[in-house]
Amino acid sequence: MTIWAVGTTNKAKLDSVSAVVKKCFPNDTHEIVPVSTASCVSDQPMSAEETQKGCIHRAKEALRLCERADFGVGIEGGLEHIGSKWFECGWMAIIERASDQMGIGSSARFEMSSVLMDPILSEGKELADIIDDLTGETDVRSGLGAMGVLTAGHLGRAAAYEHGLMFALAPFLSDTKFWRK
């Protein structure tokens, strides 16, 4: 059995890890272990670098706190300023305990409107709180997420994060000749 320690208790993030592990390793048995970790970055990361730092820290902490885990997984959502526009993106890190090898991937990005960005920039609000306010719902981040709300439910947060997780798994899925140091 392979044990995956995931540095979150967020349902959408856990669902994405579970789906990817089942797809990539269909003949193996797995246990997904949620581990409450801090990202050690701001509540609303404002760059790709900061968001990557958060996901890497979560993956390392998940491994540290779950001693029986084979892999540590960190997922962090954040914003990126590209050209004159802001985008939201999730970053993922997966670390194998045995080799200390790490893979990093990201989700697709979506453009942030001024309706969403203005309160982030002027008031320091988090995207998740703005989405909750605009939808009248609570804890959207653990379900559809902003991605799901903005695509009218066609692409929820868990599904959007699956591709990033698969890219983060690439060093563990493909031939080692692609990853030699």
56-65 burial by CB neighbour count: b if 16+ within 10 A, else e? bbbbbbbbee
And the tokens for 151? 């695509």
Segment 94-103 shows an average pLDDT of: 97
Q: Which residues contact 23 (CB under 8 A, 6 or more apart)?
A: 162, 166
Check: pTM over 0.85? Answer yes or no.
yes
Query: Could you tell me the two tokens for 84?
Result: 């004159």
b (16+ CB within 10 A) / e for 90-129: bbbbbbbbeeeebbbbbbebeebeeebbebbeeeebbbbb
**Tell me, what amino acid is at 113?**
S
Q: Is residue 181 scored above 90 in pLDDT?
A: no
Among the residues of the chain, which ranges form H helices? 11-24, 48-65, 114-123, 127-135, 145-150, 157-173
List pLDDT tens digits, range 136-145. Answer: 999 999 889 9
pLDDT band at 180 (very low <50, low <70, confident <90, very high): confident
Count CB neighbours of 25 within 10 A.
Answer: 14
Instruction: Give domain 2-112+156-178's CATH number out of 3.30.300.210, 3.40.50.720, 3.90.950.10, 3.60.20.10.
Output: 3.90.950.10
pLDDT level of residue 179 (50, 70, 90 thresholds): confident
Mean of pLDDT values over 119-144 = 93
Q: Please, how many CA atoms are within 13 Å of residue 54, restricted to the half-sphere of its CB?
A: 23
Query: Hey, what are 180's tokens?
Result: 């030699």
Q: Collapsing DSSP states into helix, strand and coil, what is residue 123?
A: helix
Query: Are the C-beta atoms of residues 157 and 12 closer than 8 Å to each other?
Result: yes
